[in-house]
C-alpha cells in the first residue's frame, strides 16, 4: 500500500532528508519519500503492517524534527 501524508511546519530541507532516511530504515517499509517542497510524505509498505509502520514513522520523525507534525487522516 502506498499512502501520502501532509506535513506541517517542515522547515528545513535537511531535516526532510533525515526523516526520509529514518523512515526508510523502519522494518516493513518498501519505499518512503519526504518532500520538503510539497510538504508531503509518501510511505510504501506492507498492507498488513501499514498502521504500525505509520506509527513508527511518526515517532522517528518526531525524533528528527520535533516541530514537524504529520497530518494523519
Name the residues that contact another protein, by CB under 8 A: 4, 9, 11-14, 17-18, 33, 35-40, 42, 63-64, 66-67
Q: In the bound complex, what is the minimum distance in angstroms from residue 12's beta carbon to another protein?
A: 7
DSSP-derived letter for residue 12 is: -
Q: In the bound complex, what is the minimum distance in angstroms from residue 48's beta carbon to another protein?
A: 24
Q: In the bound complex, what is the minimum distance in angstroms from residue 42's beta carbon to another protein?
A: 6
The cell numbers describing 17, all together, are 532528508
Which residues fall within 8 angstroms of residue 42, CB to CB, at 6 or more apart? 2, 3, 4, 5, 31, 32, 33, 35
Amino acid at each position: 500500500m502506498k499512502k501520502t501524508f501532509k506535513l506541517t511546519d517542515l522547515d528545513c530541507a535537511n531535516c526532510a532528508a533525515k526523516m526520509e532516511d529514518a523512515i526508510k530504515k523502519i522494518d516493513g517499509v518498501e519505499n518512503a519519500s519526504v518532500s520538503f517542497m510539497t510538504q508531503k510524505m509518501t510511505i510504501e509498505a506492507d498492507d498488513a503492517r501499514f498502521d504500525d509502520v505509520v506509527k513508527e514513522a511518526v515517532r522517528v520523525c518526531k525524533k528528527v524534527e520535533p516541530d514537524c507534525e504529520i497530518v494523519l487522516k
